[in-house]
């Protein structure tokens, strides 16, 4: 089985990428394949790259308060492109009141300031593993 592949990016005008770089490096060190897009990406660019790179998950770091616009747009574009199976997770500064709304919209998890990288890694392994098993079960049922 191939390693879990994760795309890490910053969307919008937010130029602070230290946290995203730390996450990308930590995931690589844990054996993940990481595609790092960098700062000032659009949802369209993120989704296009995610599909081209065949990623299992997209991690978006947000500090710009645009999370209620950017995350739903990414999820919508993934569904439109037939890639709704791609896990979307977030990090950065997101008010607790908005986290439940984002999860209800389809974001898998939000990791805020002080979150443990080990928790992030374990979540990715468990959730991507669950999604891969579900997809394999669905594919087996189609035969």
Architecture, CATH, for domain 5-142: 3-Layer(aba) Sandwich (3.40)
Report the 10 Å Cβ neighbour count for 88: 23
pLDDT value of position 17: 82
What is the torsional sign of CA 84, 57, 132, 102?
Answer: negative
3-state SS class at 95: coil
3-state SS class at 89: strand
pLDDT value of position 43: 96
pLDDT value of position 143: 56
User: Which stretches of the chain drop beneath a pLDDT of 70?
Assistant: 142-143
Residue of 133, 137, 138 whose CA lies nearest to 1:
133
Domain boundaries, the chain: 5-142
Rounded CA Rg of the chain: 14
Q: What CA–CA distance (Å, rounded) separates 117 from 23?
A: 7
pLDDT value of position 53: 97
3-state SS class at 86: coil
Q: What CA–CA distance (Å, rounded) separates 122 from 143?
A: 32
pTM of the model: 0.93
Q: Give residue-wise pLDDT tens across range 96-134.
A: 999 999 999 999 999 988 899 999 999 999 999 999 999
């Amino acid at each position: 089985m191939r390693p879990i592949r994760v795309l890490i990016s910053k969307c919008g005008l937010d130029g602070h990428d230290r946290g995203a770089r730390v996450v990308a490096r930590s995931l690589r060190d844990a054996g993940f394949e990481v595609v790092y897009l960098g700062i000032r990406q659009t949802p369209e660019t993120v989704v296009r790259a995610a599909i081209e790179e065949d990623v299992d998950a997209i991690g978006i770091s947000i500090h710009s308060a645009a999370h209620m616009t950017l995350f739903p747009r990414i999820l919508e574009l993934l569904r439109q492109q037939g890639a709704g199976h791609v896990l979307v997770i977030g990090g950065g500064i997101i008010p607790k009141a908005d986290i439940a709304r984002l999860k209800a919209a389809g974001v898998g998890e939000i990791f805020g300031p002080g979150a443990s990288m080990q928790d992030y890694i374990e979540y990715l392994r468990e959730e991507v593993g669950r999604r891969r098993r579900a997809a394999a079960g669905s594919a087996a049922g189609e035969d």
